[in-house]
A = this chain, B = another copy of it.
């Protein structure tokens, strides 16, 4: 499947519209932040750089679905502008989740670049009086505090955009319900993920699949699709079908992420090829392997920070030989079948292409 040049040009326009809206939402706050001194202003400046440098996956999904359900020109432009505001707010929510996730995981880097915490840490280290990194511990504390606080402000900004949107009262309440549901489910997913990693929660397959759905699919796929349906005035049945299709696709993406991280070509995906194994990340791959006779051979290496290349290759081979790779590929296929079934049976034809475009990104994905 290729994206038509028409679709590409409208995507570029959408990107610009979302970027302008985000610039406005962040710019207003960054401006007000200067009154509170350079450190507070720096939080907003860094957040602005990070948010505006994103790919706007969620806002684009919302707006393309919205435009499909309610073609531009068919409604007053103010209504579409409100949809753009909500789509930008969802990007702020995404970044708020990422920041708190980075604090929780102790991450300083995202996609090869320092995240907000990493930037604050580097800048604190360069302050006068910090000789030979003598303040390392307190610098990290300062930087992670910045991550918590900026995540809070982005969460607040998300709600402000929903609360202020120029919407009929009932529609505002529907969107607020959706936002609340999304946050609860994402937080539940994050808690499960951390509980699995910290050995508080048993790593069975069902828990891991539920966690993947909650932690990522809900806010990345279900929220934009439901919001698009609600804003365009679609029936609740359409909203539900879009949301369910989105969840299947979201879970497929997440499972494919796990497969790529473990079995993919690191020259393509650009990540440390064995970081999931070294960190002891509880994925569907590992959950399956635990149920096979290969597990005693894998277990000693799983979660070992010192895992070397030869050992990691050995574990990878074991995971493949014991059927874990095939098993997870099967789970992905199941999700895609369920997705396709919904697509041809319940989703309005106008919105199908948006979801097919998204599903096409899954096929042949290398990173």
* Residue positions of A touching B, CB distance < 8 A: 29, 32-33, 36-37, 39-40, 43, 96, 100, 103-104, 124, 127, 129, 135, 138-139, 141-142, 145-146, 148-149, 151-153, 155-156, 159-160, 162-164, 172-173, 176, 179-180, 183-185, 187-188, 190-192, 194-195, 197-201, 214
Q: What is the CB-to-nearest-CB distance from A356 to chain B, in angstroms, rounded to a whole number?
A: 32
Q: Which residue of B lies closest to A138 (CB)?
A: B198
The residue from B163, B194, B199 contacting A163, defined by CB atoms under 8 A apart? B163
Minimum CB–CB distance from A318 to chain B (whole Å) comes to: 25
A-B contact pairs, 11 of them (CB 8 A): A39-B191, A39-B195, A40-B187, A100-B152, A103-B148, A127-B200, A139-B198, A142-B200, A145-B190, A164-B173, A164-B176
Write the nearest CB–CB distance from A293 to chain B, whole angstroms. Answer: 24
CA of A199 to CA of B200, assembled, Å? 36
- Copies of this chain, whole number: 2
Partner of A152, one of B155, B173, B192, B197: B155
| Shortest beta-carbon distance from A45 to chain B in Å | 14
Rounded to whole angstroms, the CA-CA distance of A138 and B127 in the bound complex is: 32
A170, B33: Cα distance in complex, Å: 24
Residues of B within 8 A of A104 (CB): 141, 145, 148
List the B side residues contacting A179 at CB < 8 Å: 156, 160
The CA of A195 and the CA of B199, in the complex, are separated in Å by: 34
Q: Which of B103, B153, B188, B194 contacts A187 (CB 8 A)?
A: B153
Tell me, in angstroms, the Cα distance from A192 to B40 when the chains sit together. 8
Name, among A124, A156, A160, the residue most crowded by chain B CB atoms within 10 Å (CB to CB): A156
Query: Which residues of B lie under 8 Å from residue A164 when comparing CB positions?
Result: 173, 176
How far, in angstroms, from A320 to B194 measured CA to CA in the complex?
Answer: 48
Across-interface contacts of A172 in B (CB, < 8 A):
163
A194 touches B162 (CB 8 A): no
Which residues on the B side are within 8 Å of A149 (C-beta)?
A: 100, 187, 190-191
The residue on B at minimum CB distance from A123 is B200
Assess A36 versus B160: contact at CB under 8 Å? Given A145-B104, A155-B155, A199-B135. Answer: no
**In the complex, what distance in Å separates the CA atom of A180 from the CA atom of B157?**
8
> Once the chains bind, are A191 and B40 in contact (CB under 8 Å)?
yes
A145-B176 contact in complex given A36-B184, A138-B198, A153-B184, C-beta closer than 8 Å: no
B36 engages A185 (CB within 8 Å): yes
Which are the 5 A-B pairs with shortest beta-carbon distances?
A159-B159, A163-B163, A36-B188, A138-B198, A142-B198
B-side contacts of A37, CB under 8 Å: 188, 192
A39 to B146, CA, bound (A): 27
Of chain B, the residue at the smallest CB distance from A42 is B191
Contact check, A142 vs B194: say whether CB atoms are below 8 A apart.
yes
Does the CB pair B152–A183 fall under 8 Å?
Answer: yes
Chain B min CB distance to A26 (Å): 13
Q: Indicate if the CB atoms of B198 and A148 lie closer than 8 Å.
A: no
Question: Quick check: A163 and B176 within 8 Å, CB to CB?
Answer: yes
Q: Are B194 and A152 within 8 A (Cβ)?
A: no
A36 contacts which chain B residues (CB < 8 A)?
184-185, 188, 214
How far apart sit A191 and B148, CA to CA, in the bound complex (Å)?
10
Instruction: Give bound CA distance, A166 to B103, whole Å.
Output: 36
Give which listed residue, B142, B160, B187, B201, contacts A195 with CB less than 8 A. Answer: B142
